[in-house]
Amino acid sequence: MKIRFCEHNKGKGKVYRRLREEFPDLDVKIKGCVKQCGACREMPMATVGKKRVTAPDGDRLYQKILEIIRKGSLAAPE
């Protein structure tokens, strides 16, 4: 699962660090641009897979990403 943050998004720092620490096997990166400029200017956001995820603050963004990660690992075959 790819998780991408734009380097210009103000809400990325804490969320990015938490994901890297708690899920070292995930493909989490900060890119120069994720081509979501409208949302990126407005609020914390990331792209998870090909889906844009936004939230009013970094903590809520982290929670939304966790929900997607959990759903993805439940759907993955063992």
Map out the domains of the chain with their CATH numbers.
2-75 (3.40.30)
pLDDT, averaged across the chain: 89
Could you tell me if 48 and 2 are in contact, meaning their C-beta atoms sit under 8 angstroms apart? yes
Q: Report which residue type is found at 59.
A: D
* pLDDT digits 0-9 by tens, 30-50: 999 888 888 888 899 999 988
Q: Give the CA angle between residues 61, 6, 76 to the nearest 5°.
A: 55
* pLDDT digits 0-9 by tens, 14-26: 999 999 999 999 9
Coil, strand, or helix at residue 47? strand
Going along the chain, which residue ranges are E strands?
A: 2-6, 27-31, 45-48, 51-54
pLDDT band for position 72 (50/70/90)?
confident
